[in-house]
A and B are shown apart, each in its own frame.
Chain A
Amino acid sequence: MTELLDLADRVLALAQDGEQLEVVAVKGTDTEIRVYEGDIESLTSSESQGVGIRVIADQRQGFAYCGSLDFDVLTETLTEARDNASFGTEDEFLGLAEPDGVKPVELDLFRDVNAVETTAKIDLALELEKAAKARDPRISIVESADYYDGFGESAFATTAGIRSTTKESTAYVSVSVIANEGDDTQDGFGYAIGRELSELDIDKAAADAAKRATQLLGAKQAPSERLTVVLDPYVAAQFTGIIAGTLSGERVLKGRSPFADRLGEMVADTKITLVDDPTDPRALTASATDGEGLATRRNLLIDAGELKSFVHNSYTARRAGTASTGSAVRGGFKSTPGVGTRAVSIQPGEISREDLIAGIDNGLLVTSVSGLHSGVNPTSGDFSTGASGLRIRNGELAEPIREVTIASTLQRMMLDVMAIADDTEWLPMSATGVTMSIADVTMSGS
């Protein structure tokens, strides 16, 4: 840890007069195990590292990165970043984040995953494969059972006086199964995730995979109609992530958000309260500091349907005449800080999932979506995605459905939310999931 911070400090020491520098240095190890039919198919054990350097000089910005911690390579990278800055457009709002006095929360995100014997990790993957196979006689193949763990540390330092380090671990298992019945084949996945091996619930991962695959056996395309859709937590989380993406200060400033100019207005049903809280240790994406080294904080974005706030990094905040919300995000060391939410949640409601479904006469429980990247436009708000799931008839789950799409617009869906259940799930993504129902969505089928 100090090694990385020392290295970052050595680069900062090279700053020239009037030049702002930001250095992010990361280092990590990964173990990845895939088993198939009782044998190890592949085992990867790796170390990786890298440094990203951002230079701001004369109100211009440049960036360079390298997959190395070698100081000579870093000085070349700095030279390259400087050169890149000279071609940027002058922009008075460019600059590093200034310390704002908010103290980062203490988060304990590290367990020593490397202290666990590899054989124990292999055994876990084998156990998962077995458990998934044994779960249901209709499961014909366990396509893959994987174990993964990673340990990462990072150092962050800037000439504006921000210095921070992080250290965290992740461990997860995932399994993918194929179920057969008659002529029909369906697949399903399950996973478990935590900070270390002992937190992983193998049985739940196996059960989820089996359920996903078997509940869709015999699924058919349905005729087109407008109906109420119920989103499973895993699907709702993806929807929530897309909504949160439209509230990025950058999208708003650049005229790419359908919710720009709508602060203070009702943009959603009153049941929707949307919060981004990276300080919550239950979030796998929790982080005490943001991509510019500022403390992360709990941000209320939508309060009972009213749009309260966008999220900002220091650049978008300066341009918008407000303060950073501690929402700078970066995709590792290879890019400059962008803006986004990190751990966003729709606050749970008070009814159970069962009661929520029981209240629907004619609907579709969506258990899986596909093509979100190709069918959702976060600028126009057009929403169309492939879906599969189970019909809901008279408050009860009925026949399985596949090869349909569901479509509406993000703006309408927010206003058409009917109910939110109380079953919040923490998922391996930057949004939590909760069962929710949305009225008047078009299902396209045969």
Chain B
Amino acid sequence: MIDEALAAKTISTALETGGDFAEVFVEDKRSSSAVLDDGKIEELTSGRDRGAGIRVVVGDTTGFAHTADLSESGLAEAARAAASAARGGGGGTNEVELTRQDAPRPSEIAVYPSDVPKVTKVELLKKADEAAREVGAAISQVSARYGDSRRQILVANSNGLLASDDQVKTLFSVGCVAMGDTGMQTGRESVGHTIGFELFDQYDVAEIARKAANRAITKLDAVAAPSGSMPVVVGPGGGGVLFHEACGHGLEADLVAKSASVFAGRKGEKVATDLVTLIDDGTMSAEWGAFAIDDEGRPAQANTLIEEGVLTDYMWDHLRAVKEGRPSSGNGRRQSYQHLPMVRMTNTYIANGPDKPEDIIAATEKGVYVAQLGGGQVNTTTGDFVFGMLEAYLIEDGKITSPLREGNLIGNGPEVLTRIDMLGDDFAMGSPGTCGKDGQGVPVGDGTPTLRVTALTVGGTAA
């Protein structure tokens, strides 16, 4: 990384032709992964990305440049490029005094993955492969992936902020193919946390593998998913993606500011049923979207977005917050030093409700139970969103019955929020995810208890 004096000097250089705000973001990221597929350790990959992104804001214009050269001259060149991009006028010098404003880490790291021998990581993959294949002869293919990353960042800006963070993440995932009379089906399971190699003290890779294998095998008997509008019950953990798409993106202040969100101008209004309290929480210990500071140096915080159905606030980054004369909510994030920050979610979840999960299923005469959701996508302008069901079942007469083939569900965010009529007391976080927006991917978490939506359109082929 760079020292405080060089950070200060770079900011001064960035502002030497004028400007309202300058920031230097330094990142040093090391990642490693190991992949097993087709019974073989196919490859281990190690990577290192290191560089700085510098932005200069003049009026409503942001100039941005990045460099992999962290020397004084490399940073000065990038600072001038950012300044000229912002077309600053006036000039003059801007002496910056930086003050450390670090925040506590969401979780302590017990074992840095870089201290773990590669052979130990490779053994985890072999163990997973073996465990998955032992589940049944129908398992025809297994892939497993181990990944870790350590991302050290430093942010300094012309407001005097200086903060740094050291973000360690560890991930393990298994994908299985099962072969049956009706063709092939797939099953997947992944776990990931913002912690080190101690992840494997908490999770047994054989268990992860068995879950993936069982999902694939169960689906061999799957029937075509129904087609049309019906009640949908989403299992614990799974529903997070639903809220991420149905309203999370629509509550990002950059989209709200351009009226590109169906939730623009609705603060203070009732947007959901009383059951719904939606929180975005970057401080959530060890969760996939947790951090000490966001990528603008702001400490992570827990933000209540919807409280008992009422829209209480949007999510904010630095620029959008300054315009509104309010503080950032710690949601300014970026994929890497090569990207400008924007408003992003962290760990987004729905708090527990009053119902027993079994009562929710029993109260549903005919519908679909989704145990595991896949990815999703939303059009924030219309609010229409889709998400995939990776593991789903029919609900008939209040009981979970046949497994279903894969498909998408489609709904409209504002409508769906008003159709949540039962909420369980069995809160769980879902799988680690990567959220894509404007070409940038960032790690996010989500969670929910079991919940029911009275009507969603299920995109299957059966009548």
Residues of A contacting B377 in the complex (Cβ-Cβ under 8 angstroms): 370-371, 373-374, 386
What 7 additional pairs, Cβ within 8 angstroms, besides A43-B64, A44-B85, A47-B67?
A41-B61, A48-B68, A187-B381, A371-B410, A373-B375, A385-B408, A405-B410
Closest B residue, CB atoms, query A122: B87
Complex interface: stretch among B45-53, B266-274, B309-317, B343-351: B45-53
Q: A68-B50, A84-B43, A405-B386 are in contact. Are A254 and B37 (CB under 8 A)?
A: yes
Contact with B along A311-335 (1 / 0, CB 8 A): 0000000000000000000000011
B459 within 8 A of A: yes
Q: How far is the CA of A68 from the CA of B41 in the complex (A)?
A: 27
Task: Determine whether the beta carbon of B63 is less than 8 Å from that of A384.
Answer: no
A contact patch SS:
strand
Task: Determine whether the beta carbon of A444 is less than 8 Å from that of B44.
Answer: no
Q: How far, in Å, is A163 (CB) from chain B's closest CB?
A: 24
Contact with A along B26-58 (1 / 0, CB 8 A): 000000001001111111111111110000000
Q: A41-B61, A379-B184, A404-B457 are in contact. Are A374 and B374 (CB under 8 A)?
A: yes
Task: Determine whether the beta carbon of B408 is less than 8 Å from that of A49.
Answer: no
Q: How far is the CA of A445 from the CA of B455 in the complex (A)?
A: 11
Task: Determine whether the beta carbon of B68 is less than 8 Å from that of A67.
Answer: yes
Contact check: which of A67, A335, A408 meets B51 at CB < 8 Å? A67
Q: How far is the CA of A195 from the CA of B184 in the complex (A)?
A: 42
Residues of A contacting B67 in the complex (Cβ-Cβ under 8 angstroms): 46-47
Contact check: which of A39, A224, A253 meets B61 at CB < 8 Å? A39
Contact with A along B187-199 (1 / 0, CB 8 A): 0000000000000
Closest B residue, CB atoms, query A446: B229
Q: How far is the CA of A255 from the CA of B141 in the complex (A)?
A: 7
Task: Determine whether the beta carbon of A442 is less than 8 Å from that of B62.
Answer: no
Complex interface: stretch among B3-11, B90-98, B257-265, B323-331: B257-265
A83 within 8 A of B: yes
B364 within 8 A of A: no
Closest B residue, CB atoms, query A411: B183
A308 within 8 A of B: no
Residues of A contacting B51 in the complex (Cβ-Cβ under 8 angstroms): 67
Closest A residue, CB atoms, query B259: A141
B435 within 8 A of A: no
A258 within 8 A of B: yes
A377 within 8 A of B: yes
Q: How far is the CA of A380 from the CA of B87 in the complex (A)?
A: 53
B167 within 8 A of A: no
Task: Determine whether the beta carbon of B457 is less than 8 Å from that of A87.
Answer: no
Q: How far is the CA of A373 from the CA of B390 in the complex (A)?
A: 12
Residues of B contacting A77 in the complex (Cβ-Cβ under 8 angstroms): 46, 48
Closest A residue, CB atoms, query B86: A43
Task: Determine whether the beta carbon of A382 is less than 8 Å from that of B66.
Answer: no
* 9 interchain residue pairs of minimum CB distance: A405-B459, A374-B388, A375-B408, A371-B386, A384-B407, A84-B44, A386-B386, A89-B40, A187-B381
Task: Determine whether the beta carbon of B259 is less than 8 Å from that of A442.
Answer: no
Q: How far is the CA of A359 from the CA of B147 in the complex (A)?
A: 52
Residues of B contacting A370 in the complex (Cβ-Cβ under 8 angstroms): 377, 379, 384-386
Contact with B along A429-446 (1 / 0, CB 8 A): 000000000000011111
Residues of B contacting A402 in the complex (Cβ-Cβ under 8 angstroms): 382, 384
- Contacting B at CB under 8 A, from A129-151, are 140-141, 143-144
Q: How many chain B residues touch A (Cβ–Cβ < 8 Å)?
A: 77
Q: How far is the CA of A212 from the CA of B63 in the complex (A)?
A: 31
A residues whose Cβ falls under 8 Å from a Cβ of B: 36, 39-49, 61-68, 73, 77, 80-81, 83-85, 87-89, 91, 118, 140-141, 143-144, 178, 185-187, 221, 224, 253-256, 258, 334-336, 370-371, 373-375, 377, 379-382, 384-386, 388, 402-408, 442-446
Residues of A contacting B385 in the complex (Cβ-Cβ under 8 angstroms): 370, 386
Task: Determine whether the beta carbon of B338 is less than 8 Å from that of A405.
Answer: no
Task: Determine whether the beta carbon of B460 is less than 8 Å from that of A444.
Answer: yes
Q: How far, in Å, is B232 (CB) from chain A's closest CB?
A: 13
Residues of A contacting B262 in the complex (Cβ-Cβ under 8 angstroms): 185
Q: How far is the CA of A43 from the CA of B345 in the complex (A)?
A: 24
Residues of B contacting A44 in the complex (Cβ-Cβ under 8 angstroms): 63-66, 85, 340
Task: Determine whether the beta carbon of A89 is less than 8 Å from that of B258.
Answer: no
Residues of A contacting B45 in the complex (Cβ-Cβ under 8 angstroms): 62-65, 84, 335-336
Contact check: which of B140, B229, B407 meets A445 at CB < 8 Å? B229
- Contacting A at CB under 8 A, from B334-385, are 338, 340, 374-377, 379, 381-382, 384-385
Q: A43-B64, A254-B141, A446-B229 are in contact. Are A67 and B258 (CB under 8 A)?
A: no
Task: Determine whether the beta carbon of A382 is less than 8 Å from that of B259.
Answer: no
Residues of B contacting A178 in the complex (Cβ-Cβ under 8 angstroms): 259-260, 381
Contact check: which of A47, A73, A80, A403 meets B410 at CB < 8 Å? A403
Closest A residue, CB atoms, query B85: A43
Q: How far, in Å, is B18 (CB) from chain A's closest CB?
A: 15
B residues whose Cβ falls under 8 Å from a Cβ of A: 34, 37-51, 59-68, 81, 85-87, 118-119, 122, 140-141, 177, 179, 183-186, 219, 225, 227-229, 258-260, 262, 338, 340, 374-377, 379, 381-382, 384-388, 405-412, 457-461
Task: Determine whether the beta carbon of A380 is less than 8 Å from that of B184.
Answer: yes
B contact patch SS:
strand
Task: Determine whether the beta carbon of A446 is less than 8 Å from that of B46.
Answer: no
Contact check: which of A141, A377, A384, A445 meets B258 at CB < 8 Å? A141
Residues of B contacting A81 in the complex (Cβ-Cβ under 8 angstroms): 46
Closest B residue, CB atoms, query A42: B62
Task: Determine whether the beta carbon of B40 is less than 8 Å from that of A48.
Answer: no
Task: Determine whether the beta carbon of B258 is less than 8 Å from that of A444.
Answer: no
Task: Determine whether the beta carbon of B61 is less than 8 Å from that of A407.
Answer: no
Residues of B contacting A73 in the complex (Cβ-Cβ under 8 angstroms): 48
Q: How far, in Å, is A217 (CB) from chain B's closest CB?
A: 11
Q: How far is the CA of A422 from the CA of B354 in the complex (A)?
A: 58
Task: Determine whether the beta carbon of A380 is less than 8 Å from that of B386.
Answer: no
Q: How far is the CA of A87 from the CA of B117 in the complex (A)?
A: 11
Task: Determine whether the beta carbon of A442 is less than 8 Å from that of B457.
Answer: no
Q: How far, in Å, is B452 (CB) from chain A's closest CB?
A: 19
Task: Determine whether the beta carbon of B34 is less than 8 Å from that of A380.
Answer: no
Q: How far, in Å, is B195 (CB) from chain A's closest CB?
A: 23
Q: How far is the CA of A126 from the CA of B416 in the complex (A)?
A: 38
Q: How far is the CA of A144 from the CA of B459 in the complex (A)?
A: 32
Q: How far, in Å, is B453 (CB) from chain A's closest CB?
A: 14
Residues of B contacting A381 in the complex (Cβ-Cβ under 8 angstroms): 183
Closest A residue, CB atoms, query B123: A87
Q: List 5 A-B contacts (CB under 8 A).
A: A46-B64, A46-B67, A68-B68, A370-B384, A402-B382
Q: How far, in Å, is A429 (CB) from chain B's closest CB?
A: 14
Q: How far, in Å, is A102 (CB) from chain B's closest CB?
A: 27
Residues of A contacting B411 in the complex (Cβ-Cβ under 8 angstroms): 403
Residues of B contacting A408 in the complex (Cβ-Cβ under 8 angstroms): 461
Q: A42-B64, A42-B340, A141-B259 are in contact. Are A442 and B461 (CB under 8 A)?
A: yes
Point out which of B39, B177, B407 has the most chain A C-beta atoms below 10 A from its C-beta. Answer: B407
Residues of A contacting B386 in the complex (Cβ-Cβ under 8 angstroms): 370-371, 374-375, 385-386, 405
Residues of B contacting A141 in the complex (Cβ-Cβ under 8 angstroms): 258-260
Task: Determine whether the beta carbon of B63 is less than 8 Å from that of A42.
Answer: yes
Q: How far, in Å, is B165 (CB) from chain A's closest CB?
A: 20
Q: How far is the CA of A41 from the CA of B81 in the complex (A)?
A: 16
Contact check: which of B42, B46, B60, B461 meets A41 at CB < 8 Å? B60
Q: How far is the CA of A406 from the CA of B407 in the complex (A)?
A: 10
Task: Determine whether the beta carbon of A371 is less than 8 Å from that of B50.
Answer: no
Q: How far, in Å, is B19 (CB) from chain A's closest CB?
A: 13
Task: Determine whether the beta carbon of B141 is less than 8 Å from that of A84.
Answer: no
Q: How far is the CA of A46 from the CA of B54 in the complex (A)?
A: 10
Task: Determine whether the beta carbon of B47 is less than 8 Å from that of A446.
Answer: no
Task: Determine whether the beta carbon of B340 is less than 8 Å from that of A255.
Answer: no
